[in-house]
Structure 1
Amino acid sequence: MDWLTIIGSVVALAVLAGIATGLHYAYWVKRLAVVHDYAERHDLEMSDGVPITLRRLAPPPTPREPPVLLVHGVAANHRNVDAEAGISLARYLHGLGRDVWLLTLRSGQPGLSARQLGFVNYRAMAEHDLPEAVAFVRDRTRAETVDYVGFSMGGILLYGALGRTIESAVLGRVAFIGSPARVAPPHAYLKKLSFLPRFVFRGVWLRFWARMSAFIVEKIRTPAHHHIYNPDNVRPGVAARALVNLIEDVPAPLSADFAGWALDDGIVRLNGEDVLEGLGAVTRPALFIAGAADQVARPAAVRAAFDAWGRDHEGQEAVEKRFLVLGRDEGCAHDYGHGDLAIGDRLEEELFGPLGHFLASKP
């Protein structure tokens, strides 16, 4: 066999593999896609040229309470809080008569240019995406305040923005779901890599691989499954659909942010300052929710933010705040991991209910 034949065979196999991959990808995306409708969509360009998107469910005719802004986590888009029927926080709150808005941060935008990807980092989202989104919702609804619910990174961003780019006076009631104020690597020995420079950490291209593997995610169980979520706490089929509908890539700058914090001392910093330093003066009512078995946002890491919240006012009139852990010891059917805080089987009863009650509470 001559070299031309060998090269031709390799090229032919590569083409066939590419076609098979494309067909596999398209088939499972079509089969597992869950399409949602929204009453409004607003695509906004930030001052650094990177887009964010705000979506709105049909507003109530006469809203009695402030609008609610829902903000997703890392490696996800707005579907993080609007997965599908029965496990959508957005639809649950809408059913309670709330004016619900969903923010898709720059980190949840597919198809960004190489230049735009360079601006996807924690600082940019805390300094641009969050304040611009809050201001837009207030302007559009003519509301004095906005209730805020952050999932994971969506809450971590508010830790950094409060008192810096967002004044607490524009917020009403605030809820954090699995939002750690301290981050750690999955294994302690990885801290030995703290000497690595920032440029070493590359983007994590999850969107493609999540969609490629969705068909088999529930057929096998690995230690990685339990690190991300508790499979026993998720209905069959839900995890596969979540991989197709809500997972996004983690661009290199944002990946470097999280890796830098985790491999160093675990402190989340904005412009070199511990984000918890700005929480002591905050007096807004707050609910902090953690999963008992969450290995991404461990209860103690979420508790750190709870403890810091309103700390400067201790000994004065108490700041309204609550720390809730979802697990068997607290009466839940299962101990919650991280992902099942978004797609768990009994979310309406065990998470949405308490959260909705908190948001509706009056001072």
Structure 2
Amino acid sequence: MQPLLAALAAVLVLALLAGLHYAFWTWRLRAPPIEDGIVHAPTRDGWVLALGRRRPRGVPRAPPVLLVHGIAMNRQTFEFGLVRWALADHLARAGFDCFSLDHRGHGASRRGPGASRRWNLDDYVREDIPAALDAIRRETGAERVLYVGHSQGGIMGLAACALYPDRIAAIAALGAPAHYDVQDRLKKLVALRFTWVGRFTRLAARMLAPFAGYWHPAVFDLAIQLRNVEPRVFRRLLANGLENLQPGVLSQFAAFIREDSFRSMDGKLDYRASLERCRQPALFLAAEKDGLAPPSVVQAAFRRWGGPKEYAIVGQGFGHADLLLGRSAPETVYPLVERFLLAHSREVAGASAPRAATDPK
């Protein structure tokens, strides 16, 4: 009996220490998103999505910008708590009204009564993106947006361009994989849908965050080149920007990889084939060392695109997530996106630049 009590006490002490560790480092590494407010976007199936708004700091331009995050991430990939690595802030200073989306189950989005706890990529493109577009129209009066998507957010945007051609004026797709014929290592990621690991990604990331940056596991190269990201930025990403991997989303990606396809889960809609019918201007941006969307994959989608298009590859050791958070991303990547959006926008007649706000550093 005595050994059992001792073991139980040890377990309780370890659980208490783990809880204190989680609470302290979540607080210590907290980096609130840089934004002017939250816009709520109700979906038809009961979710209430969150859009972080960053109003223009320069002479206002139109249309507004919708920014959409990648898999297992949230809007903080665009509204990072360090102003240097906040793409939304960078674009706001160029005059754009920016709205960064939290998909269902991510960030500040919340499930309404009766809404499903399970979803896949089709729900993002059929429910979440239309809800975000409607909310932006309600806030600004704009019928169309300029779309910026990273990774999964990029391919959802490419599909949305075909489904809602009158709502998206142009798209910048950053590290967006619409082909899956060369990414063998992705199979390890989607295999997580059969384990408990994916459901605790956010917890594990926050527990490991204070130790991050001191070693360089090769497995991380699939999603981020740690040598190209400042340790403080990586730690804050783990503590603030990561979300749980959703089984339905991983199952759909598993089908993409198995078939080298990009389609709806029921097989009725071929998203990849629809790229050829799109007519919006598009920027396809690839990273030299991206393990999830290698340059050849991004270029394959670029070749399929039916509208005016540009392709660019970022070298200097850039990987997947560091397209947004790399050491020199503000000088290397952000200007490419800004230049593209400026080319497909206009100044708002009669508007003047609002007074600059004081931003966190």
Q: TM-score, structure 1 length as denominator?
A: 0.86
2-structure distance, mates of 1:99, 1:219: 38
Alignment of 1:164-243 (within 5 A): 164=163, 166=164, 168-183=165-180, 187=184, 200=194, 203-243=198-238
Q: 2-side partners of 1:205 and 1:184: how far apart?
A: 29
Contact 2:49 2:101 survives alignment (8 Å): yes
Name the residue aligned to 1:358.
340
Does 1:294 pair with 2:320?
no
Which residue is equivalent to 2:279?
Answer: 283
Change beyond 3 A, Cα 1:232–1:62:
closer
The CA deviation at 1:321 is 0.8
- CA-CA distance at 1:348 after TM superposition: 1.6
Are the equivalent residues in 1 in contact too, given 2:212–2:231 (CA < 8 A)? no
Structure 1 residues 241 and 185: alpha-carbon distance in aligned structure 2, compared to 1, 3 A threshold: farther
Mapped contact 1:201–1:256 kept (Cα < 8 A): no
- For 1:19, give the aligned amino acid: L
Give how far 1:42 is off. 2.4
CA distance in 1 between partners of 2:185 and 2:326 (Å) = 28
Residues in 2 aligned to 1:114 and 1:5: alpha-carbon distance in whole angstroms: 48
Residue 102 of structure 1 deviates from its aligned partner by 0.8
Q: Tell whether the 8 Å contact from 1:291 to 1:337 is kept in structure 2 after alignment.
A: yes
Matched, 1:33 2:21: no
Q: Give 1:149 deviation, angstroms.
A: 0.3
- Cα-Cα RMSD: 2.7
1:53 to 50, 55, 73: 50
SS of equivalent to 1:303: helix
Q: Distance in 1 between matches of 2:120 and 2:217?
A: 30
Distance across 1 between alignment mates of 2:221 and 2:159: 29
1:100 equivalent in structure 2? 98
Q: What displacement does 1:353 show?
A: 0.5
Q: Return the offset for 1:322.
A: 0.4
Q: Distance in 2 between matches of 1:224 and 1:114?
A: 39
Alignment of 1:120-135 (within 5 A): 120-135=119-134
Q: 1:74 aligns with which of 61, 71, 76?
A: 71
- The equivalent of 2:243 in structure 1 is 248
2:348 maps to which residue? none
The 2-side partners of 1:183 and 1:22 are apart by 40
Alignment partner of 2:16 out of 15, 19, 28: 19
How far did 1:114 drift?
A: 12
Alignment of 1:1-16 (within 5 A): 4-16=1-13
Aligned residues of 1:52 and 1:109 also touching (Cα < 8 A):
no
Deviations 1:156-208 (A, max 9, x none): 112333333x2x122222100111102368646959xx9x9x98466442100
Change (3 A) 1:112 1:131: closer
SS at match of 1:348: helix
Provide closer, same or farther for how the CA distance between residues 189 and 55 of structure 1 changes in structure 2, counting only shifts above 3 A: closer
User: What residue ranges of structure 1 are gaps of 5+ in the alignment?
Assistant: 311-318, 328-333
Q: Which residue of 1 aligns with 2:118?
A: 119
Match of 2:314 among 313, 326, 339: 326
Equivalent of 2:305, from 309, 315, 329? 309
In the other structure, the counterpart of 2:359 is: none
Contact 1:53 1:103 in 2 (8 A): yes
Asked whether the equivalents of residues 193 and 246 of structure 2 are also in contact (C-alpha less than 8 Å), the reply is no
Q: Which residue number corresponds to residue 145 of structure 2?
A: 146
List per-residue Cα deviations over 1:59-118 (Å, max 9, x = no partner): 469733210010111110000112222111101001111111111111424776997563
Cα displacement (A) at 1:148: 0.5
Query: How many residues align structurally?
Result: 340
- Which of 241, 262, 265 in structure 1 is aligned with 2:259? 265
Aligned residues of 1:184 and 1:261 also touching (Cα < 8 A): no
AA matched with 2:157: L
Identity of aligned residues (%): 29
User: Which one-letter code corresponds to 2:98 in the other structure?
Assistant: V
